């Protein structure tokens, strides 16, 4: 139990979580402002997922990225079936925001803030 506490100290992890959720919410608010389907909650979750996956390890980060890619594929499939349009900007934004969240998990703050 002591090993786990040293690996994931509460204060730095909480600060990273707050940064990831805050930046995800800002990006999501911008997307909702322009009446896009994917908004605040989804982007905040994607940032948080990226941050947590990067903290845990490389194999988890790859698995989580696969999950985000499946989310993007499902969203585009739904969009194509409903109105025959491809949501490429939202798709690219979700993938990029996952990667920015992973950067937060790795300890980078300036780059993700600038990217957001």
65 has a pLDDT exceeding 60: yes
Q: Kindly report, residue by residue over 83-111, the tens digit of the pLDDT.
A: 888 888 889 999 999 999 999 999 998 99
- 59: which 2 tokens? 């194999």
Predicted confidence at residue 52, as pLDDT, reads 96
Please check whether residue 46 lies inside any domain of the structure: yes
Q: Is the dihedral of CA 48, 54, 60, 66 positive or negative?
A: positive
How far, in Å, CA of 11 to CA of 30, rounded? Answer: 29
- 6 with 19: CB under 8 angstroms? no
- 33: which 2 tokens? 């402002």
Please check whether residue 24 lies inside any domain of the structure: yes
DSSP helix/strand/coil, 8? coil
Please check whether residue 20 lies inside any domain of the structure: yes
Predicted confidence at residue 25, as pLDDT, reads 94
Among 5-14, 37-46, 68-77, where is mean pLDDT lowest? 5-14
**DSSP code of residue 108:** -
Please check whether residue 68 lies inside any domain of the structure: yes
Verdict on whether the full-model pTM lies above 0.85: yes
- 26: which 2 tokens? 């800002």
Number of domains present in the structure of the chain: 1
Please check whether residue 112 lies inside any domain of the structure: no
Q: Which domain holds residue 74?
A: 2-105
Q: What is the DSSP string of 22-48?
A: HHHHHHHHHHHHTT-SS-HHHHHHHHH
Please check whether residue 113 lies inside any domain of the structure: no
Please check whether residue 114 lies inside any domain of the structure: no
């Amino acid at each position: 139990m002591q090993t786990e506490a040293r690996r994931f100290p509460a204060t730095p992890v909480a600060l990273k979580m707050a940064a990831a959720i805050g930046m995800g919410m800002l990006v999501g608010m911008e997307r909702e402002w322009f009446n896009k389907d994917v908004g605040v909650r989804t982007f905040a979750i994607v940032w948080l997922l990226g941050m947590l996956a990067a903290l845990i390890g490389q194999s988890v980060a790859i698995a989580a990225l696969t999950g985000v890619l499946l989310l993007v594929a499902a969203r585009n499939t739904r969009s194509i079936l409903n109105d025959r349009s491809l949501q490429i900007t939202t798709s690219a934004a979700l993938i990029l925001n996952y990667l920015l969240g992973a950067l937060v998990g790795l300890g980078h703050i300036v780059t993700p803030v600038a990217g957001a």
